[in-house]
């Protein structure tokens, strides 16, 4: 099975190498801004001509928005726009032009309702000081040195890695991996190189292929499993807030940049800003490491994992819980489980967004009409079952796997299914996009379209 993976390594650059990388990132920004300005100028010109009543066939010809068209236009004028173009790799300019081509396509598709998700705005120009410097290499000499502590990139030469690249080097030596591109990017005050690799993965099976686990994510506990296991929420952002407040106050006392007068920030302001950036990067790294360990363990151990389709964007509208929800990373848990279960031969089932997992009794199936957030224990009015609400939700999610199997050809509940609280036996789950939503009895469920701004009452209470 061939998959696309990314191997990311920190770099230890010399001052000269850092200047070279910044020069490549600056070249990408110049090409990006030039292409965007050219497209925007023609669009404005055509808009003015239409206001004057000029027929469509006599309007100024619109330039090509494809990468190939933008590259041809750039090559024709690069000697005038960037006389220093020969000092950097051609991949630097290709990075900026490719970003413009992709962003314009996403904007056009969003306007035509050909792209799912939130509306995409028109591309913006990149600033020298506010843009994260990065450059992507797709051709040329891209390899890992035999000592596994150095990487070679076009025009940049031999770069030292902060850690060993033995995992990637073993695959390259065995012929089970092929490097497709390499991206150099500065993140959290450090430079990193990310290799996009096509990997030939062996077929795997979970440790318990017939087991089913329901995963209910939350704030008090990051995840509650139907097996009874409680995964603590480390709350990395809460633990680092005191240091971040101190660094933020120190930064506010320095002389920062002023866009109105063109004043640049002082050296002390730059150092204080770098310290605050490293503190934020540490929190992000800790969160990323914890989520990777959790999702990898679930994907390797259980054959079927059932989670919920949470409206995270809507949940973030809750001003009291938004910081904690963002710190937990609910969306990242689902995204990583989606590809890790595929890698390990498992199955990921996603319960419908409106499925009342917390309101349904895991013992008898009775559904409560209301369940306040303050009620941390679920008490069934029918059978008298008293159980933790998160454990109850996890058990209900695990039970969905059996209902899914009895439905025959694998029904799914499309996004935007009816918002009414269904009785037990009418629950649908997602497996693959593009199939017809039906319930357990085979009845086709109504479909509609919802936006991410609508909050689920069930998710809001939790």
DSSP letters for 391-452: HHHHHHHHHHHHHHHHTSS---PPTT---S-PPTT---EESSTTSPPB-TTSPBPP-----T
Residue 441 has pLDDT above 50, yes or no: no
301 dihedral zone (left: phi>0; alpha: psi -120 to 50; beta) = alpha
Neighbours of 1 (CB within 10 A): 11
Residue 410 has pLDDT above 80, yes or no: no
Tokens of 39: 């497209």
How far is residue 74's CA from residue 26's CA, in Å, rounded to a whole number?
Answer: 16
pLDDT over 90 percentage in the chain = 66
Tokens of 162: 């902060």
| Helix (H), strand (E) counts: the chain | 11, 15
Residue 414 has pLDDT above 80, yes or no: no
87 among known catalytic residues: no
91, 98, 216, 439: which is the annotated catalytic residue? 216
91, 98, 308, 458: which is the annotated catalytic residue? 308
Residue 340 has pLDDT above 50, yes or no: yes
Task: Spell out the domain ranges in the chain.
Answer: 2-14+133-200, 18-111, 209-234+274-461
At 417 the pLDDT is 37
How far is residue 139's CA from residue 339's CA, in Å, rounded to a whole number?
Answer: 27
439 among known catalytic residues: no
Q: What is the pTM of this model?
A: 0.80
216 among known catalytic residues: yes
390, 403, 439, 458: which is the annotated catalytic residue? 390
């Amino acid at each position: 099975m061939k998959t696309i993976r990314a191997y990311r390594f920190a770099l230890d650059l010399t001052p000269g190498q850092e200047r070279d990388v910044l020069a490549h990132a600056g070249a990408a920004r110049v090409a990006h801004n030039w292409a965007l300005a050219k497209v925007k100028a023609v669009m404005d010109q055509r808009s003015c001509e239409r206001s004057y009543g000029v027929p469509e066939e006599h309007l100024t010809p619109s330039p090509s928005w494809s990468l190939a068209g933008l590259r041809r236009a750039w090559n024709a004028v690069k000697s005038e726009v960037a006389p220093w173009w020969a000092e950097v790799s051609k991949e630097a300019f290709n990075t900026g032009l490719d970003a413009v081509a992709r962003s314009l396509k996403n904007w056009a598709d969003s306007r035509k309702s050909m792209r799912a998700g939130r509306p995409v705005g028109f591309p913006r120009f990149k600033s020298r000081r506010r843009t994260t410097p990065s450059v992507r290499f797709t051709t040329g000499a891209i390899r890992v040195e035999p000592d596994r502590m150095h990487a070679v990139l076009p025009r940049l030469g031999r770069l030292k890695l902060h850690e060993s690249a033995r995992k990637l080097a073993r695959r390259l030596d065995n012929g089970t991996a092929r490097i497709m591109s390499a991206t150099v990017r500065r993140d959290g005050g450090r430079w990193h190189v990310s290799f996009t690799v096509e990997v030939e993965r062996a077929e795997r099976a979970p440790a318990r292929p017939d087991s089913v686990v329901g995963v209910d994510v939350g704030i008090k506990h990051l995840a509650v499993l139907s097996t009874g296991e409680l995964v603590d929420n480390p709350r990395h952002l809460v633990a680092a807030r005191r240091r971040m407040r101190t660094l933020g106050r120190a930064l506010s006392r320095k002389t920062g940049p002023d866009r109105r007068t063109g004043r640049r920030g002082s050296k002390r302001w730059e150092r204080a800003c770098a310290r605050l950036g490293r503190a934020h990067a540490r929190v992000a790294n800790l969160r990323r490491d914890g989520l990777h360990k959790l999702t990898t363990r679930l994907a390797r151990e259980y054959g079927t994992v059932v989670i919920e389709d949470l409206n995270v964007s809507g949940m973030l509208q809750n001003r009291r819980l938004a910081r904690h929800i963002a710190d937990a990373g609910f969306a990242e848990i689902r995204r990583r489980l989606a590809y890790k279960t595929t890698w390990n031969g498992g199955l990921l089932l996603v319960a419908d967004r409106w499925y009342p997992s917390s309101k349904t009794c895991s013992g008898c199936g009775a559904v409560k009409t209301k369940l306040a957030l303050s009620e941390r224990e679920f008490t069934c009015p029918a059978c008298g079952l008293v159980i933790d609400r998160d454990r109850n939700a996890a058990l209900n999610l695990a039970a969905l796997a059996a209902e899914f199997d009895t439905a025959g050809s694998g029904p799914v509940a499309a996004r935007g299914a009816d918002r009414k609280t269904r009785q037990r036996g009418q629950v649908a789950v997602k497996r693959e996009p593009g199939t017809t939503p039906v319930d357990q009895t085979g009845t086709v469920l109504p479909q509609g379209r919802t936006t991410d701004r609508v909050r689920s009452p069930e998710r809001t209470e939790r």
